[in-house]
Every structure is written in C-alpha cells, then in structure tokens.
Structure 1
C-alpha cells in the first residue's frame, strides 16, 4: 500500500518528484509521462529491508545488496534528472557489481541439469560482475513498455520468494516477497495506459537486485542457476538476442533503439496492453516451470529448457512474420 500511495503521489503535477519523460524517436509512448515510480518502489523496499536487517543483522548478503542498491539508485536518480554520459554509467555499474562480488556475493558454480561446473574464485567473481552489469542494463533496456518491467519484477521476485520458502530460507523469501509486493503497488499505476514510469532509479536498481538475489539463492543452494535464468528469461532472452543481432549488423549497441522484440510487436500493431499480456503469459509459464523443475528429474529439466527454447524461437519467428506482413521496420 505504501508503494501504491507514493506512486500515485509522484504521478501528479506539483509533486516534489514530478519529473517528466518526454517521448523521442526511440520511445514507444507519445505523451510526456512522469518517471519517478522507481523511487516509490525502492522506498517501500528499503523500509521493509531496514526491518529485516534489524531482525537479522547477520545477513551479510542483504547488507551488501542494500548498500550497493542505494549507491546505484542515487546515480540513477541524477541520470533521471539530468542524463549522465553512458561511459560514466557503465563504470558505476561495473564498480557496484565488482564491490558486491568482492564482498563475497559471487558464483562458485555454474550448473545445468546433470552438470555442475565448479569455478575458481577469480573466475566466479568475473562471471558474477558480468552477470550483474548485464542485468542492470537489460532491465533498463526492457523497461520500454507499459507494465513490462513492473510485471517482470512481480513475477520474478514472487517466484524467487516461493523457491526460497520451499528451500527453507524464510528471510530470503520474505525480502523477495517485499520487492514483489512493492512492484504490485507501482504496477497499478503503470499498467497500460501507464500514468507513471519507474525510470532508471527503478529499472537499474531492480536489475541489480534481480542479479544479486539470483547469486544469493544459487550460493545457498536454494535453486540452480538455470532455474533462475529461466525465471527472468522474458527479459534475458529478448535483450541478449537483440544485442547479438545489433552486433552482427554492426550497429552502435550503446545507442537507444526500438528493435527489441517486444518493441517491434507493439509497433507492428499489437499495442502495449496486448503485448504485455503475452509477456505476462511467458512470465507465468517460466515461473511455474522453474518451481516444478527445481526438484524434477534430469530428463524433465532438460525438457523444460528445450521446450522454452522452442517457445522463444517460435515467438521471434512470429514477430518477424508479422512485421513482414504489415510492413513494420525490424
């Protein structure tokens, strides 16, 4: 409720944090829209997080994530008010990810069904920094459609909460649930047609939290890494495939664009609401698959991975064919 109240306040003219996101050639929205919804989400998260830390001051991962998230949110807030150079933002992302990894929050193994690869300390730190920096950026990339990033936050962290609870880690489950609940309050005002966006404050920090909670859960053996990737795959797959396509085309990958598959689907005539509902179906399916798959047989786990690979491949082909039919640019 606190998140919903703050989000509604920030969406009204006259609010101290009433900052407008003006549409440009790369935007999907057509009217200036407030962009400080992320502050509302994080205010609710940190209020509950303080209570959790007071209850369990020995949770080092929570302390590390809280401090790193606050630093990143402050930089993102400045960027929301007055855009910072991309190179500076990238350095901050790497520095925050590096600090978390060096503090002890890094991967020690990379696992697939029936296959666990132990990684040396320095390699685990390097892989973790790359994962965290990528999640920070891809969350930002994918926050371009009404209801999308908010929905991914609700679905992703609610599923992490369920997996943490089933694995016997109530503190992890509780904080994950708080993040999901805070995103629900924001989503009420962000569902198409959106009255407010989360901005870089929300997308960057939630991306860091997503990566951090994934690493935390994998280290504590609550769930395997492949399950966590599956949970957030509606963001990870689209962003990664789009990045590869742009690299192959020789495009400047650091420049804003409208070539993510969800953006192309909106522009091809589906609109925000219909497209985001399709993405919600993906999120729900991935969440159920992860919860079922975490304790399933090796064969079933591989069937889930192959099945979702085929689903995403079919989705991408479908977007391509729709564009060819209606004449939308790729």
Structure 2
C-alpha cells in the first residue's frame, strides 16, 4: 500500500495538483494524527479568516492609487513623514479570503485584488490627495499566498516522514499517532510572527531607555509625567511646552487607548500597542519630539481604527480618544474627516 505522507509530498511538489485538493488531503492526515494546530490552520484556509490571527505569508504590500482624470489610476506616494506612515499602514493589509476565493481570482485572469475600505478610512486617504483612491494588491502577491500554502504542506509532510510517520493507505499506527503528539508543528504555519515582532519592538524600546520605564500599565505613571515635563523644558518650543502642560491628560488617554485596544482583533491590537509604545518614546526623548513624527503616530492609530469601524463596536470611541490625544499633543486632526 502507498504511504499517505509520501503521496502528500509528491502532490505538494506537483504544480498541476490543486492547492484545494492538497489542503483537503492534508486535513485527513492532520485529523487522523490528531495534530490540532494543522487541523485548525487548514480549516481557516478553506473557510477564510475572520478575527483570527493571520499567518505571516498572508500579510502583503499593496499600492495606493489616486484617480487622475487624464491618466486614470496612478500610484501615489507620501512626500512627508506623516503621509508616508499613513499610506504604509493602509497599504499593509492582511488577506483574509478563503484559498478557494484566491484561486478563483487567479484563474479569472484579473490583475489583482482591490480592497474595500471603510468610509472613514477612505475619507482620510482622499483628504490627502483630493481625489478618489483605491488600494490594489497585485496578482503576484495573491499567487504568493497560494504557493505559500503549498510550501507549508510540503515542509510539514517532509518533517512527518523525518519523525518516522509514514502511514499506510489512509491509516496510521498508534505509535505514529503518539510520535505526532510529541511534536509541535505550528512553526510551519508562521502564525506567531506578528506577536514576536511586537515583543522585539517592545524590548528594543525599553532597552534604549536606561533611566526610564515607559510602561504606563505599571507603577511608573508619575515618572512618565515627570519625564515629559523635563523634556518640555529641554526643548524650548510651544509644541513641547504644550505637551509638558498636558502630560497628565496625555497619560490618561494613552492608558485608556491601551485598555480599549484589548477588544480589538489580536493582530490589530498588537499594531496599536507598538504605535503607542513608539509614541511614548517620541514624547519622552527630546531628539524625537517633533510635530510631524507625532502626527504620523496619530494617523497610524486612526487608520487602524478606521479599518475596524464595521468590525468592532468600540472602534468609533477609540478614534475619538485618539483625536482627543492629538489635541493634547498639539497636533490636532480635523474631526470632520471622522464624523
């Protein structure tokens, strides 16, 4: 009898075999071996992702395009730090469609995928160029996602054989099931990359400050306020003095934003935490205390919440708090864009 693992390897290596068929066969193997992490991953690839964390290979770089009445849809770029940060956030989406939808898109011959933006986010982006805009994902990026799924199955099946799991027909011995239970195959899915990146960013931020811990969730709120006021004295400008005078309220709003972000999907929550940590560092270091840098952080937070207006009930309140923060920081954002 043939080995289901070796068959899976051969089919994963064969580009003529449908990725959908490959996933279904892999689901049988994962289920029979009781490899939960692979079962869940395959189900998500088949059904599509909702609020679940997204594997790293599903994070793509899009292109923001503006409508030019003479030349049609043209790529646009940010010419300053704030617009560049805004565009980068908007153009870094996670593709949540099921693998069957992505395969159908490739087979249709379409040039790529056009993202449906929330009205709130769209209004912010339109305001920067005064023209209709869209975010497009290239067909090559979509194909890369599909081929990454094939690669995951290939590498996983090779590792199963290396661990001594071969199978016969469509069955596995009790010993093979026990071997599978002793191994962790989640690394093939690449689903924890975002979390590790956030932790690395946080570690770097803390290691760069020898005398001050900027974690507002602990007992250092008073220290944080003093640090902000000290920096305001060091940097003599209306902008920095304004931040120093509003330090207590700034602390309260940032703390509130952290708490509100707990209701957001994990991936977006992690992005928010990184932006808040970066913002804290900026306002506690004189060399980084610049209006355009602070405004870029604010716009990134607004962009994320704008993406979630129709997904998370508290997204509107989060945006309002960010707008309050922008006023206290001395970089007010026009509220009509979000109302």
How high is the TM-score relative to the length of structure 1?
Answer: 0.24
Q: Which one has the largest radius of gyration? A: 2
